[in-house]
């Protein structure tokens, strides 16, 4: 997973002075201060990208470091430990985090983190306004103090589809030509996923999980996965406006219609490649069969979702 969270193309510092890296982080990712041993100061690495109003950062200091901040005020920090260990000191409890674990820091949470010498972490910085706007759009009730994550620690593997989504987020951030509209779309999806997968103080009305319209559209998609299904086709099938269709899928699937269809296609391909009884002659054949014309991009996105290349899945089950 970690190889998909910002590549060398996003490198800003390599084997640099940790305090120079910290100064850059202060400007782009969040106000803080660091303390390190006087001797044996490490060589820090930093990768950084912006995506719409988000900041994506991958950082290692090369030495044990203590990071403190009074509070992040207007931003949320989602930190994933890639290597090493981290101690998070809180008002009530101390948390010891290992690789693959995720720490969510609210805007009003004091920060006191100590990272091991071999630690590397990935940070997603999300402005408070992104979550507030999404809650208003969905008409979810938020207490006066704003959105607050009531559970701070998670295992990334337990958050269904979240690791793959982060990989796709980084992939889009590093794209040579990335449209702002597309970036904002990814931003809304990751915000929606955070609110749906993680515990918060947001009051969401109980949704009808067996919505007949959504179930009919899902069945239609399943029957026609090999076709080029456009969201406009779904809107006509359901007799909905484009905006109403988008809201329906966000509410029941957490993604847009287009991404839902795309995910279903990948899931079907993965299921076929994993089933020895499924008559698949080659990865190329099944990719083209489901409308994936750019085979290099198909393989990369498949790996982001399932952790291996489609050819590896195919060979393992044959």
User: Residues 113-131: pLDDT tens digits?
Assistant: 999 999 999 999 999 999 9
Same domain, 42 and 185: yes
The pLDDT of 38-45, averaged and rounded, is 78
Domain boundary among 171, 197, 223: 197
Domain end call among 154, 172, 197:
197
The alpha carbon of 1 is separated from its chain's Cα centroid by a whole number of angstroms, namely 11
Residue 281 lies in domain? 212-316
Highest mean pLDDT (candidates 32-41, 117-126, 129-138): 117-126
pLDDT band at 40 (very low <50, low <70, confident <90, very high): low
Cβ distance 121 to 183 under 8 Å?
no
Please state the φ and ψ torsions of residue 50, each to the nearest 5 degrees. -105, 145
With respect to residue 206, please indicate whether it lies within any of the assigned structural domains. Answer: no
Note the pLDDT tens digit of each residue in 225-280. 999 999 999 999 898 888 889 888 887 887 889 999 999 999 999 988 988 878 88
> Tokens 């007949």 map to which residue?
212
Task: Note whether 236 and 261 are same-domain residues.
Answer: yes
Under DSSP, the state recorded for 306 is H
Q: Are residues 134 and 46 in the same domain?
A: yes
Q: What is the pLDDT of residue 208?
A: 47
Sequence-distant (6+) residues with CB within 8 A of 276 are: 317, 318
The total of structural domains in the chain comes to 2
Question: Which has the higher per-residue pLDDT, 191 or 161?
Answer: 191
State which of 121-130, 193-202, 297-306, 307-316 shows the largest mean pLDDT.
Answer: 121-130
Q: Which helix (H) or strand (E) holds 180?
A: helix 180-197
Average pLDDT, the chain: 89
Question: Residue 223 and residue 217: Cα distance in Å, rounded?
Answer: 10
Tokens of 148: 């607050």
Are 48 and 172 within one domain? yes
| Ramachandran area for residue 52 (φ above 0: left; ψ -120 to 50: alpha; else beta) | left
| Residue indicated by tokens 């991009």 | 297
178-204 average pLDDT score: 87
Residue (of 175, 167, 169, 186) closest to 4 by Cα position: 167
Q: Does a structural domain hold residue 204?
A: no
Asked if pLDDT for residue 4 goes beyond 70, the answer is yes
Q: What is the DSSP string of 193-231?
A: HHHHHS-BS-B-PPP-TT-HHHHHHHHHHHHTTTS---H
pTM of the model: 0.69
């Amino acid at each position: 997973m970690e190889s998909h969270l910002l590549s060398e193309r996003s490198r800003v510092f390599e084997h640099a002075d940790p305090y120079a890296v910290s100064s850059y982080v202060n400007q782009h990712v969040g106000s803080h201060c660091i303390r390190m041993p006087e001797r044996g100061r490490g060589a820090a690495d930093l990768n950084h990208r912006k995506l719409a109003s988000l900041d994506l950062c991958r950082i290692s200091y090369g030495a044990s470091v203590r990071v403190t901040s009074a509070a992040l005020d207007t931003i949320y920090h989602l930190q994933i430990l890639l290597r090493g260990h981290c101690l998070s000191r809180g008002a009530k409890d101390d948390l010891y985090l290992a690789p693959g674990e995720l720490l969510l820091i609210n805007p009003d949470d004091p920060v006191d983190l100590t990272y091991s010498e071999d630690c590397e972490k990935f940070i997603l910085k999300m402005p408070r306004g992104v979550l507030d706007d999404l809650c208003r759009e969905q008409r979810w009730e938020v207490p006066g103090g704003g959105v607050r994550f009531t559970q701070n620690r998670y295992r990334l593997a337990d958050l269904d589809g979240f690791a793959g989504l982060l990989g796709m987020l980084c992939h889009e951030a590093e794209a040579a030509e990335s449209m702002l509209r597309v970036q904002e779309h990814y931003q809304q999806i990751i915000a929606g996923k955070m609110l749906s997968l993680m515990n918060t103080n947001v009051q969401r009305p109980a949704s009808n999980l067996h919505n007949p319209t959504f179930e009919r559209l899902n069945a239609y998609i399943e029957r026609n996965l090999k076709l080029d299904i456009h969201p406009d086709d779904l809107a006509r099938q359901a007799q909905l406006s484009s905006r109403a269709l988008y809201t329906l899928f966000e509410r029941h699937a957490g993604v847009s219609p287009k991404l839902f269809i795309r995910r279903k296609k990948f899931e079907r391909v993965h299921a076929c490649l994993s089933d020895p009884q499924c008559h698949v002659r080659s990865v190329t054949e099944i990719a083209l069969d489901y409308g994936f014309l750019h085979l290099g991009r198909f393989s990369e996105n498949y790996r982001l979702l399932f952790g291996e290349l489609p050819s590896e899945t195919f060979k393992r089950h044959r």
